[in-house]
Amino acid sequence: MSMDTQTQQALVEHFKARFLVGDQYPTITQARQVANAFLERTVDRYSAEIKQVDEAIEKAVVRASRALVMGQGVSTTHQA
């Protein structure tokens, strides 16, 4: 089974949003569990589709990083 482009993009955006609010996934297994919950099904870790899940997570890391560098991430307040 292969994930369609729209679903993969939605997964990327979901993880990007999670990263921007500070969520962390110390292991790929934890991130995959979040992906399974988002997809409302379990992706077999031995399937070709798991590569698409991993790629979506990687893309989300890059996009969240870019957003943070560009100042589009979590807003903070600083007191003088």
Structure tokens at 26: 């110390």
Would you report the helix, strand and coil content of the chain in percent, each value rounded to 5?
60, 0, 40
Parts of the chain with a pLDDT under 70: 72-80
Amino acid at 75: S
Asked if 55 contacts 12 with a C-beta cutoff of 8 angstroms, the reply is no
- Provide the pLDDT for residue 78: 44
CA distance 56 to 5: 10
Structure pTM?
Answer: 0.84
- Provide the pLDDT for residue 47: 94
- Provide the pLDDT for residue 74: 57
